[in-house]
Structure 1
Amino acid sequence: MTLVIRRENEEAVRRRQAPFRAIEVVSLPWLDRIYEWFFRRIFKNDYRSQVLTAFNYVFCLAFEWCAWRQMRTRISAGDFDVVLRLLPISSVLPSPFAFFLHRGSVPFVIGPINGGLPWPASFSQADKQKEWISNIRNFYRFLPFARSTYRHATAIIAGSSQTYAEFATYREKLFFVPGENGINPSLHASGSRSSPLSDKLELIFVGGLVPYKACDLALRAAASLLRTGRASFTIVGDGPERASLDQLAKSLGIEKDVVFCGMLPHAEVMRRLGAADVLVFPSIHEFGGAVVFEALAMGAVPIVVDYGGPGDIIDSEVGFKVPLTSEADVVLQIDEILGKLARDPDILERLRQQGMRYARKRLSWNAKARLMSQILMWTVGQGPKPDLRPSCPRVLCSQNS
């Protein structure tokens, strides 16, 4: 495999010493300087900004145009069997490579792509977070290369059921591989506890303290159990909602049982997940949900809403997901689940073991790579078409399990 990257990513990629046949670097010094200035000064280093995604359009086209000029002679000479566009993940950022390649013999594959998750109605968290540009998202379909990207692609890999539905027109070449994240196998070694579950339920929330992560719903849902003294709650993460969440904990009378840890190194976050019983993560607008992958791997049973990435990953064999109906209903349902787990720790232990096994066998980077390989082999006519659809139960387990 030959990897084509921007100059700014070269050092990090080479440091990993991955077994690439070659690493091709595309240098755009003047464009990179413009992007860096806008990112720091205008977007305030906010990677979550939807406006930033739209702003990236010109820079992505410029990179791929230069990459094409740099690689087209070798592509035309047959040096490569397939071109895979892995990044960016956003489905609204097209690739001119599909247009450049469609008259030749080298197939073009894009994905996993994600995004386009509608903001749920009647949630105050959405009202706080939603950006104006989401109202005109579908305008991207009229941008140069937007339609040709998917029309000329040999295979499209969707990272969520929502994205799969958006591109259902191309179902004959569309594949569903949930989440653009994976689990590092090294996480599993520390995922088994040496001591049995205690009488006190250890709850954890991990994520940015921003409105759409809905940590406020998690606190409200856990409040009744926390007030009985049968649970404690650890909040890992920081953000603009920190002060209001701290005030909410006080108003609910649970401040003594809630610990705000702030930002922590990744290794420490994994340790905390490994010590927790339940991940309470009712995010209302989550595309991938890497923390859900990590919670499963480390033995924390996830409670999520059945919407977006987490809803695609969790089922009744490894955790809980509640319908995204209303704030009050989400709080009530999570409250009932926590009460049930506190009364019957055997349920928790069964889900924990099954979740760790599921993460180890089906959510690792190696498992994801096997699925991607099956898709790529099909595109070049060297393997059967894999059946990867949202309707398939446990889609990650459906191939060679």
Structure 2
Amino acid sequence: MERRIRALVIAEAANPEWVSVPLIGWSLSSALREVADVHIVTQIRNRDAFIRAGLVEGRDFTAIDSEKLAAPLWKLAERLSMGKGVGWTMKTAVTTLGYGYFERLVWRQFGAAIRAGDYDIVHRVTPLTPTANSLIGARTRRAGVPFVMGPLNGGVPWPKGFDAERRREKEWLSYIRGAYKAMPGRGASLDAASAIICGSEFTFSEIPAKYHAKTVWLPENAIDPARFSLTAPQPGTLPLRGCFIGRLVPYKGADMAIEAALPLLRSGALHLDIIGDGPQADDLRALIARESVGHAVTMHGWLDHKQVQSVAATAQMLVFPSVREFGGGVVLEAMALGVVPVIADYAGPGELVDDATGFRIPMGSRAQIVAGLRARLEAIAADPAVLPAMAQAGQAKVMGQFTWAAKAAQIERIWRAVLDKRPLPQELPRRR
């Protein structure tokens, strides 16, 4: 039996009680503890949640207090982003300015142990953004300990024809985001890494070709099977039920989902559940009233995770034409429930769904997406018997490849390849 790897896992953002990046950081770091001897290093804001989750400070994790810089930077980011829930590129850029300070504190506390060989590998899990350079990588490499970065993800370009949505999200900084590639320290970070894990094909494409041999595509999202105990009914007959899950903002496409489904909603062939809340909610209600489809569309508002699962598990399809998803975790969650995704073929969702597990609508203008989605929904309504086999294939794919336990096993194999100086395993087939 192989000796368990001793790993220092840096997860500045990691919290079991939050969502998005902190939940990914927590879920992956925790799963890695099952396959290796892992000590997690996180930021002080996560300390109490770690303890509530049963981890022991000092033994299982260390909380680094970088609030002297992190707190004022967060306040500045909130002001510059010009609104709650918008301007994410600005928030990421400003808060990332303080990450170097966090890593300096990490090295101050763990540098001696790394140099002494107490850890076989050092892995930075979060931040996910590839714009956050890692100063600790070069120091770790000089100490003779391999350094791994990732999953890195973010910065998926806004598709053409959606500038109005981009402006409504106050994504002004996204117009010059590519400038990060010229920032000092990026080359040193990539040079220092023994393995670079990319969570999306786009992020992979931004890694210079000379590093591709040590770069692996591995989506960052996964699911916890214990949280998905329901399976949606798939009778293969009409009427159908579809659901949309997400923040109600223009780029997520709830309005496109409703518009595309109008003929089926009017005919009684489809009922649509809209799960989520946001600034577009009133506009959606007005659209539903104007088109007289209130009998066929239910606006649920914000629901907690268990309630989301209960509603989604009554649907046969996830109707989700979002045009800018980095990871697409909601797609994996739908597949875990046996709900067939019907998605815009772009970024994260387009990489997770294949012809056996769902339907991908070609990207284009807003009108083209609505037309393509309408044609697809009408084709499904004409032959709903296609759905049961897809639902089963989707569940099997998620439970086999996209649980947190599977993700930890995939990364552990990458670690062993690094330590053995073997070519890195490409754990999942890339869609090129």
Q: What TM-score comes out, normalization by structure 2 length?
A: 0.85
Question: Aligned to 2:229, what secondary structure does the other structure show?
Answer: helix
Structure 1 equivalent of residue 54 of structure 2: 17
Q: Does structure 1 residue 367 correspond to structure 2 residue 413? A: no
Deviation digits for residues 241-296 of structure 1, max 9, x if unmatched? 11112122223332321111110011100111111111010110100011101000
Please give the alpha-carbon distance, in whole angstroms, between the structure 2 residues aligned to 1:367 and 1:336: 36
**How far apart in 1 are the matches of 2:301 and 2:144?**
52
Look up the match of 1:161: 201
Contact conserved, 2:86 with 2:169, CA < 8 A, in 1? no
Which of 189, 204, 213 in structure 2 is aligned with 1:149?
189
Partner Cα distance (1:33, 1:311) in 2: 36
3-state DSSP of counterpart to 2:295: helix
Residue deviations 1:29-56, cap 9 Å, x none?
Answer: 4334424544665555537611000101
Q: Work out the CA distance in 1 between the residues paired with 2:431 and 2:183.
A: 33
What one-letter code is carried by the residue in structure 2 that aligns with 1:163?
Answer: T
CA displacement at 1:27 relative to structure 2: 1.4
Structure 2 residue runs without a partner (length 5+): 1-37
| More divergent stretch after superposition (198-207 vs 143-152) | 143-152
Residues 373 and 392 from structure 1, CA distance in 2 versus in 1: closer, same or farther, beyond 3 angstroms? Answer: farther
2:345, 2:360 within 8 Å by CA — same for their partners in 1?
Answer: yes
Which residue identity is paired with 2:172?
W
- Residues 218-229 of structure 1: matches in 2 within 5 Å? 218-229=257-268
Deviation at 1:168, TM superposition (A): 4.5
Identity %: 34
Q: CA RMSD in A?
A: 2.2
**Which residue of the partner structure matches residue 171 of structure 1?**
212
Aligned match of 1:55: 94
What does residue 312 of structure 1 align with?
351
Separation in 2, partners of 1:128, 1:31:
30
2:76/2:94 contact within 8 Å kept: no
1:95: which partner in 2? 134
- For the pair 1:28 / 2:63, whether they are aligned, the reply is no
CA distance in structure 1 between the partners assigned to 2:72 and 2:167 by the alignment? 32
CA 1:85–1:17 in structure 2 vs 1: closer, same or farther (change >3 Å)?
same
Moved more, 62-71 or 19-28: 19-28
**2:43 partner amino acid:** R
| Residue aligning to 2:342 | 303
Does the residue aligned with 1:86 lie in a helix, a strand or coil? strand
State the alpha-carbon separation in 1 of the partners of residues 114 and 103 from structure 2: 14
C-alpha deviation, 1:130, in angstroms? 5.6
Superposed displacement of residue 156, structure 1: 0.4
3-state SS of 1:234 partner:
strand
The amino acid of 2:395's aligned partner reads M
Q: Report the more deviating stretch, 141-150 or 201-210.
A: 141-150
Aligned residue type for 2:222: G
Determine which of 166, 171, 178 is the counterpart of 1:138: 178
Q: Stretches of 4+ moved more than 4 A in 1?
A: 18-21, 39-45
Name the amino acid aligned to 1:272: V
- TM-score, L = length of structure 1: 0.91
The answer to whether the 8 Å contact 2:363/2:369 transfers is yes
Question: Which structure 1 segments of 5+ residues have no match?
Answer: 394-401
Give, in angstroms, the shift of residue 307 of structure 1: 0.7
The code of the aligned residue for 1:117 comes to V
Instruction: Tell me whether 311-320 or 49-58 shows the greater mean CA deviation.
Output: 49-58
Q: Is the 8 A contact 1:39 1:45 kept in 2?
A: no
Report which stretch shifted further, 11-20 or 356-365.
11-20
Counterparts of 1:33 and 1:128 in 2: how far apart (Å)?
27
Q: Give, in angstroms, the shift of residue 98 of structure 1.
A: 1.6
Q: Do the aligned partners of 2:152 and 2:203 also contact (CA within 8 Å) in 1? A: yes
CA deviations over 1:323-369 (Å, ceiling 9, x no partner): 11222221122112211222222101111111111111111111111
Aligned partner of 1:7: which letter? I
Question: 1: distance between equivalents of 2:353 and 2:196?
Answer: 23
What residue number does 1:260 align with?
299
Structure 2: distance between partners of 1:390 and 1:362: 11
How do 1:2-401 and structure 2 match up within 5 A?
A: 2-17=39-54, 22-38=60-76, 43=81, 45-46=84-85, 49-123=88-162, 124-129=164-169, 131-169=171-209, 170-178=211-219, 180-191=220-231, 193=233, 196=235, 199-381=238-420, 385-388=424-427, 391=430
Shift of 1:198: 5.8
Q: Which moved more, 1:340-349 or 1:200-209?
A: 340-349
CA distance in 1, matches of 2:108, 2:290: 61
CA contact (8 A) 2:216 2:424 kept: no
Instruction: Report the alpha carbon displacement of residue 152 of structure 1 after superposing the two structures with TM.
Output: 1.6
> How has the CA–CA distance of structure 1 residues 142 and 383 changed in structure 2, closer, same or farther, with 3 Å as cutoff?
closer
Note closer, same or farther for the CA distance 1:375–1:50 as it changes in structure 2 (3 Å cut): same
Any conservation in 1 of the 2:334–2:340 contact (CA below 8 Å)?
yes
Residue 174 of structure 2 aligns to a residue whose secondary structure is: helix
CA contact (8 A) 2:247 2:277 kept: yes
